[in-house]
Amino acid sequence: MRFLKELFLTTRFLLIAAGIVLLFFFGYYIPILFLVSRVLLLAFITTIIIESIIIFSNKGNVFAERILADRLSNGDENEIKIILTNNYTIKIKVKVIDELPFIFQIRDFEINSELEKNTSKIFTYNVRPVKRGEYQFGSLNIYVSTMLNIVSRRYRLEQNKTAVVYPSYIQMKKYQLMAVSNRLVEVGIKKIRRIGHSMEFEQIKEYVHGDDYRTVNWKATARKRQLMVNHFVDEKSQQVYSIIDMGRTMKMPFDKMSLVDFAINSSLVISNIALLKQDKAGIIAFNNKVTSVLPAERSPLQMKKIVELLYNQETEFLESDYEKLAAVTKSKIKQRSLLLFYTNFETANSLKRQLKYLKSLSSSHLLIVIFFKNTGLDKLLNSKSESIEEIYSKTIAEKFSFEKKIIQKELAAAGIQSILTTPQQLSVNTINKYLELKARGMI
């Protein structure tokens, strides 16, 4: 019974069998073909028996293992490895079918290769999750045949594992490494010219070539009888809050992800950068009510708290209540802070309805409103119109694109800074703005 469950017929088997049947059919009219078909049938059956004996000679001749991290990074390519070992004494053909989580909707996944006798081989492939949550990986199915590839044997290896998809920690680590080594400019982070210097005094030190002569401390110079300068450092312990609008305006998809998930990934990145810059990072999430508030801190466990909070964010994409957000922010955040507000406005009228609440936030804090370009409109605007319908569609697209510029001007007129960005450039543009504000001593 086990033999029948594990035995599978290959495409080559079916083609040869069909050819022999045709020879038998024509053999009724041409006697020599009938004789040839009988010889071929006998050879075919003999080959099947010999190949079956070889591939079913031992139960554990093939071993496979899937190497999969416990956590996957949302929106990124995550590498998965399959280690396959051939314990047969002959070279074999293998076909690997991995039972991937149904959410990927990958129905044609397979790896075809050959393995020399008594060797191991590593196969790699990537998966890109686009939604946070648990992903269930199933068994590994290994189909083995000899080089003749007439029949194959299936090994079903239990490799069931649940992987948890978290906000993009791959992106976070990428920018963290570059921030530590001062290489952020390599990924598009601008170098910001410092205007003046921060007023946080650190120490008096000896003058070295390149120091700003305006920082010379003449009293210390007179006492030491050599040039001494005041040394200043960036102001630290400033509060940086990422405010995430979980409402229906953030449901818009881009590259199979929602704008909310892009905002969550960016919040994770900027929070980590802020902590590396010795600032305090916090998170606020809201839709029709304020669902989560994580106070800004700089404790060793703060990053872990941020990751867990962002992972657990769920939304029904209801209408966002800016009034409740303004009230909670006023009661929870007493110190002037940098508020990075991730939201989206498609029309100037939608902004005007919420502008008074944004002004309320801006009066007590440094508010940066971050909203998104509609990249679908950009493609339409750059295309050539060849019909009246296409001209009409392009005109409407230009109107919506112009609305985004009006929104930026309305915010600027209200004294509120903003970032209009594509989803893929969200993290880079947010880090740029944060570093600019640090360099200008505005936080």
DSSP codes, 329-344: HHHH--S--EEEEE--
Q: Give the tens place of pLDDT for each residue, 19-41.
A: 877 777 776 677 777 777 778 88
Q: By percentage, how much of the chain surpasses pLDDT 90? A: 49
- The structure tokens 């929870």 sit at 332
State residue 245's pLDDT score: 96
State residue 195's pLDDT score: 44
State residue 48's pLDDT score: 81
Q: Which is more confident, 79 or 385?
A: 79
Give the mean pLDDT of the chain: 85
- Say if residue 194's pLDDT is above 50: no
State residue 219's pLDDT score: 82
Strands 161-166 and 71-73: parallel
State residue 85's pLDDT score: 93
Taking the CA atoms of 316, 317, 322 and 326 in sequence, report the sign of the dihedral they define. Answer: positive
pTM of the model: 0.80
CB atoms inside a 10 Å sphere around CB 436:
15
Q: Summarize the confidence of residues 191-206 as an average pLDDT.
A: 58
State residue 33's pLDDT score: 74
Under 8 Å CB-to-CB from 70, ≥6 apart: which residues?
A: 163, 164
Q: For residue 345, count CB atoms less than 10 angstroms from its CB and return exposed for 0-12, middle for 13-18, buried for 19 or more.
A: buried
State residue 383's pLDDT score: 75
Q: Give the tens place of pLDDT for each residue, 182-193.
A: 555 555 555 545
Q: Summarize the confidence of residues 291-300 as an average pLDDT.
A: 94
Q: Determine the 3-state secondary structure of 157 from DSSP.
A: strand
Taking the CA atoms of 140, 145, 150 and 152 in sequence, report the sign of the dihedral they define. Answer: negative
- Say if residue 169's pLDDT is above 60: yes
Instruction: Rounding to the nearest 10 degrees, give the CA dihedral for residues 410, 411, 412, 414.
Output: 90
- Say if residue 380's pLDDT is above 70: yes
State residue 228's pLDDT score: 83
Q: Give the tens place of pLDDT for each residue, 209-258.
A: 767 777 888 888 888 888 888 776 555 678 999 999 999 999 988 888 99
Q: Give the tens place of pLDDT for each residue, 41-75.
A: 888 888 888 888 888 876 668 899 999 999 999 99
* Percentages (nearest 5) of helix, strand, coil residues in the chain: 40, 30, 30
Query: What is the pLDDT confidence band of residue 381, given thresholds at 50, 70 and 90?
Result: confident
State residue 260's pLDDT score: 96
